[in-house]
Structure 1
């Protein structure tokens, strides 16, 4: 065996490899893991040019696998105003005015993390006009499914007098025949995002289509910068791989250019987004993306869909919802047909499903695909599963459906307030809400993520949220153990994304993707885990983040 390029030693190594779960040191060479073992054994692999890092008893894990993120949108989000910590019109207005003064040339002043009750009443354009009337301003809800805009913004985006929208997307209109300012779902506020200059990076989630006309070099450079900014932010949190849950061929082409130029810091998987307006033959685009992008750094191979919206805006599909609630975005019979065709192509499926009605529709579709095509290693996924009927819990395990869950989304666990979500669900349904342990015990593979920028991308904060969440009245404790949570953020995520042959655990031959924490994660209270911080992030053997915590080498 050749000498190692890098050795990390005197660490508390949690490999996520069930055959060798713990070690003291890891040797890296050629971008791969050469060996994992005790410090003395690994020391024999050092050569004159080997870099030695003394971990000083800190936890060393596989690089975190972010299973559901929107990295381009997150890169844009980092440039926006953040108001999640504010409440009331006075404080929000002051923040907007300060942001406006600091950004005199911004076409749109966008605020993020505007909770649905941030103004204590339903927000209208008039509320925002009272804050700033002479410039376009808007607020995005934390779940990214609703935007509230002032009159100037609605005029600039061509939405003041309404617009025809696909099913499930709505420019809410007032009695005066003008838009109220509330824009529900991605295509409704897409024109506003395009006006802000972020439309191309938003296409993957809004329409699933490609930029038209083709972006010029300056536009490609601007979009590349947003992706790189987002990935750098993820790297600082210990993330080495991510599933970008929106995208198109354009996104993959930008990533491939970064890879070819030596700029790509992380491993990225990108879907084809199948929208309700598309015909079945559009799935050939998904197959082509899967064939054209499939290496250790960039891959596709799956189709993303939305089955409903979100609970707080009333766009989630519930089995016992109001008679006038929105139905599923795909009729069950059509979804069965689509899922069967995707599965027949050998592609994976990932569907956003929040309400119990949406979740059941997706489960039924996956079962129909399996009945038609036979069982295979599909690893189809359901994203979020915020509410699920008790009878459907066991079906995930029986069908091998991955539960792609977000610990930071649980109301009251991290940044999301308990209200209005819990009241909208109703106390009688709290035992069916935000299940983790129940799904895992039923045999469903579990992968954890943040859905950034919906929630903070910090994995350490997500781990703490998963371990410290409290049960709702009448509901069981849905917490997993520390090791189960860590697996869901590493090996579980890699497996769920069909990337376990590349990364996800520390085993010789796999990619040298590692995260060194600022301390021993097993020795601190769960609430203190975020305080550990990330000391080093290593992807493909390259240090892509160094917090300067290490005082000495071995």
Structure 2
């Protein structure tokens, strides 16, 4: 009889295995789960060298899967000024001036997690308002969703944007009535000229645009590895054992491979090839090279990421019908239907997974059209192509998810009012008539659509238990809206088995059963007994990936 290396006892085990959903203990041998069952049945596997872990009545479940995050940007962002929770001129002024004083040599002061209502509910932020907070140093304040930014006058002037500039589809330098820039910059092409002022060399955005960095010094490479390691440690501390990165390039893959080679890759990571609108479709060949070259037990690249639109808050999402507050405007897709269909067909032909950011119902429809074109061209297969966010869905497209085998990658912290994001301007831009189809979790679940959960860190808080609470307590915006709340088990499934399935990994992890990889989290309390009001306070007491302890509180 094989002896356990680790025994976890006195636990409320949630296996995510429908055949045996609950257990009391589990045993680990090497990188695999040896046994799951009653305390008595599992304890006989203990030997003289077995480490016995007392879960103290806490929940033990599969290691969580962060199915949508930006690892490097999230970790680097911890070094920048965070404006979450900051609102009103006095608070903004205090934060910006203290940040400026602490960073006297920075050419551009970069702020993250900025509220769309920075200077008050319903007040559009302008460069003049930011000037009142800080006028003599260039400042850019980036929204929590990373699709809109606001800059003060000196930043707009130095970036050459004061008189506006022609932008590619879906991007805009918003102009004021006097013919000068308002200060609001929609999408990356609009705020890239301001970001070019920075003295950091652009390290904070590494990989976000899918481009390779220029020359990298050994010191920069070491610093970038340190940023990734910091992000991995933070993820492990929350109970994550697998991460689906949503931006990427070869450089990031090489850094992660270097971390893995020295035994430091404490979470499994998938990095996609990022097919941006600027890249020719011939570059999809590089995605296949990524898939071949980076394919280990903990690091892989078998997916292509694309953006179809922006965000509703910034009016850059693509809608089927006009924005409720902007008649005549429906947004501009980032890829034409012809280009996207051709890309989907080619990526699918290569056996790779596709993952597309699509927020407006018009963008979701265009992505579904592309997936349908791929299926018609190549024949059906278990592709599990994904749509990221699905903030708004046209009812005519609901059944197409299940028919095409599409995974809905959803973020419980994102619905306005559910966690940290304000209701405005989202609810006004969508309009009451479309509220019932906003973040339509219940409708998708009723159709049997596979669902995975995530945070989109640094867009939202990385803490999955805050996401679980948001999923369980989300309130409808209007009396006619459906109830999109989740049960505890539905929410936990989205962060465990759902994420494993979305990554084609359900045969390796995502449930606790003999033979599965020992990717496990021990929570500091019994989640089933915890009131929903305080479930967001639960934290990982112990995280194991591949049978190795990666976090211990």
> Shorter-chain-normalised TM-score: which range?
over 0.9
**CA pair 219-173 structure 1, distance change in 2 beyond 3 A:** farther
For residue 451 of structure 1, report the CA deviation from its aligned partner: 0.5
Aligned twin of 1:489: 495
**CA pair 465-507 structure 1, distance change in 2 beyond 3 A:** same
Deviates more, 1:38-47 or 1:361-370: 38-47
1:468-507 matches, within 5 Å, as 468-473=473-478, 474-507=480-513
Provide structure 1 residue ranges, at least 5 long, that are not aligned to the other structure. 548-554
CA distance in 2, matches of 1:396, 1:93: 47
Deviations 1:478-509 (A, max 9, x none): 12222111111101101101122332111222
Deviations 1:103-133 (A, max 9, x none): 3344432222211121132222222222122
Aligned twin of 1:75: 75
SS at match of 1:65: strand
SS at match of 2:452: strand
SS at match of 2:515: coil
Aligned twin of 1:197: 200
Q: Is the 8 A contact 1:394 1:443 kept in 2?
A: no
Aligned twin of 1:453: 458
SS at match of 1:205: coil
Among candidates 176, 180, 202, match of residue 182 of structure 2 = 180
Aligned twin of 1:429: 434
SS at match of 1:408: coil
Aligned twin of 2:170: 168
1:154-553 matches, within 5 Å, as 154=156, 157=159, 159=161, 162=164, 165-174=167-176, 179-193=181-195, 195-197=198-200, 199-200=202-203, 202-206=205-209, 208-212=210-214, 214-321=215-322, 322-473=327-478, 474-547=480-553
Deviates more, 1:116-125 or 1:312-321: 116-125
Provide structure 2 residue ranges, at least 5 long, that are not aligned to the other structure. none
For residue 34 of structure 1, report the CA deviation from its aligned partner: 1.9
**CA pair 38-85 structure 1, distance change in 2 beyond 3 A:** same
Aligned twin of 2:58: 58
Q: Is the 8 A contact 1:4 1:28 kept in 2?
A: yes
SS at match of 1:510: coil
CA distance in 1, matches of 2:512, 2:162: 54
Q: Is the 8 A contact 1:190 1:199 kept in 2?
A: no
1:123 aligns with 2:125: yes
CA distance in 2, matches of 1:171, 1:225: 35
Aligned twin of 1:552: none
Q: Is the 8 A contact 1:339 1:369 kept in 2?
A: yes
Deviations 1:409-465 (A, max 9, x none): 011111111112111111111111111111011121000101011110110010010
Q: Is the 8 A contact 1:308 1:315 kept in 2?
A: yes
Q: Is the 8 A contact 1:67 1:404 kept in 2?
A: yes
TM-score, normalised via structure 1 length: 0.94
CA distance in 2, matches of 1:417, 1:181: 21
CA distance in 2, matches of 1:318, 1:230: 35
CA distance in 2, matches of 1:159, 1:518: 51
Deviates more, 1:191-200 or 1:347-356: 191-200
1:9 aligns with 2:15: no
**CA pair 169-198 structure 1, distance change in 2 beyond 3 A:** farther
CA distance in 2, matches of 1:57, 1:69: 31
TM-score, normalised via structure 2 length: 0.94
For residue 158 of structure 1, report the CA deviation from its aligned partner: 5.6
SS at match of 2:253: helix
CA distance in 1, matches of 2:107, 2:467: 34
For residue 150 of structure 1, report the CA deviation from its aligned partner: 1.9
Aligned twin of 1:89: 89
Aligned twin of 2:151: 149
**CA pair 470-89 structure 1, distance change in 2 beyond 3 A:** same
Deviations 1:381-415 (A, max 9, x none): 00001110111111111111000000100111111
1:24-39 matches, within 5 Å, as 24-39=24-39
Q: Is the 8 A contact 1:339 1:366 kept in 2?
A: yes
For residue 180 of structure 1, report the CA deviation from its aligned partner: 3.4
**CA pair 47-140 structure 1, distance change in 2 beyond 3 A:** same
**CA pair 179-338 structure 1, distance change in 2 beyond 3 A:** same
Aligned twin of 1:114: 114
For residue 2 of structure 1, report the CA deviation from its aligned partner: 3.6
Q: Is the 8 A contact 2:72 2:206 kept in 1?
A: no
Aligned-residue Cα RMSD (Å) equals 1.8
SS at match of 2:388: strand
SS at match of 1:521: coil
CA distance in 2, matches of 1:221, 1:187: 29
CA distance in 1, matches of 2:219, 2:161: 28
**CA pair 209-466 structure 1, distance change in 2 beyond 3 A:** same
CA distance in 1, matches of 2:484, 2:362: 21
